[in-house]
Amino acid sequence: KAGVTQTPRYLIKTRGQQVTLSCSPISGHRSVSWYQQTPGQGLQFLFEYFSETQRNKGNFPGRFSGRQFSNSRSEMNVSTLELGDSALYLCASSVHNEQFFGPGTRLTVL
């Protein structure tokens, strides 16, 4: 089976712009979670989607949003980018209480 894929792998944006990241889960996995990884805060949970519904959300501002499509692919969107949003964004698909991670999208905000 193919693993979790994330696109794009690298992204450079400027403050105030918005960005959309994409995640395709492992075939058959219906749950997709997103995490933000920074040197200062470590790995923090953003949100989780299951069958197109958000069923859990971390403590992030409303600028961070996501959605999931009927084929389980998920997108996350960050509006009005800030310098502090520079991070590695990891997506994970889940089944049977295990999460499998994608390679991440490295976002740099200038």
Partner 1 sequence: AQTVTQSQPEMSVQEAETVTLSCTYDTSESNYYLFWYKQPPSRQMILVIRQEAYKQQNATENRFSVNFQKAAKSFSLKISDSQLGDTAMYFCAFMKPGAGSYQLTFGKGTKLSVIP
Rank residues 45 and 60 by Cβ distance to partner 1 and give the closer one: 45
Binder of partner 1 out of 23, 24, 25, 48 (CB under 8 A): 48
Q: Before 39, cis peptide (omega within 30)?
A: no
Q: Is residue 100 at the binding interface for partner 1, with CB under 8 A as the rule?
A: yes
DSSP symbols for 36-64: EEETTTEEEEEEEEETTEEEEE-S--TTE
Q: Which is nearer to partner 1, 7 or 17 (CB)?
A: 7
Residue 25 · residue 4 · CB < 8 Å: yes
- 50 scored as a contact of partner 1 (CB under 8 A): yes
98 sits near partner 1 (criterion: CB under 8 A):
yes
- How far is residue 83's CA from residue 96's CA, in Å, rounded to a whole number? 37
Q: In angstroms, rounded to a whole number, what is the distance separating the alpha carbons of residues 32 and 23?
A: 8
Smaller CB separation from partner 1, 13 or 58: 58
In this complex, which beta carbon is closest to partner 1, that of residue 3 or of residue 16? 3
CA-based torsion, 70, 12, 17, 89: positive or negative? positive
Question: By the criterion CB under 8 A, which residues form the site for partner 1?
Answer: 31, 33, 35, 42-43, 45, 48, 50, 55-56, 58, 88, 90, 92, 94, 97-101, 103-104, 106
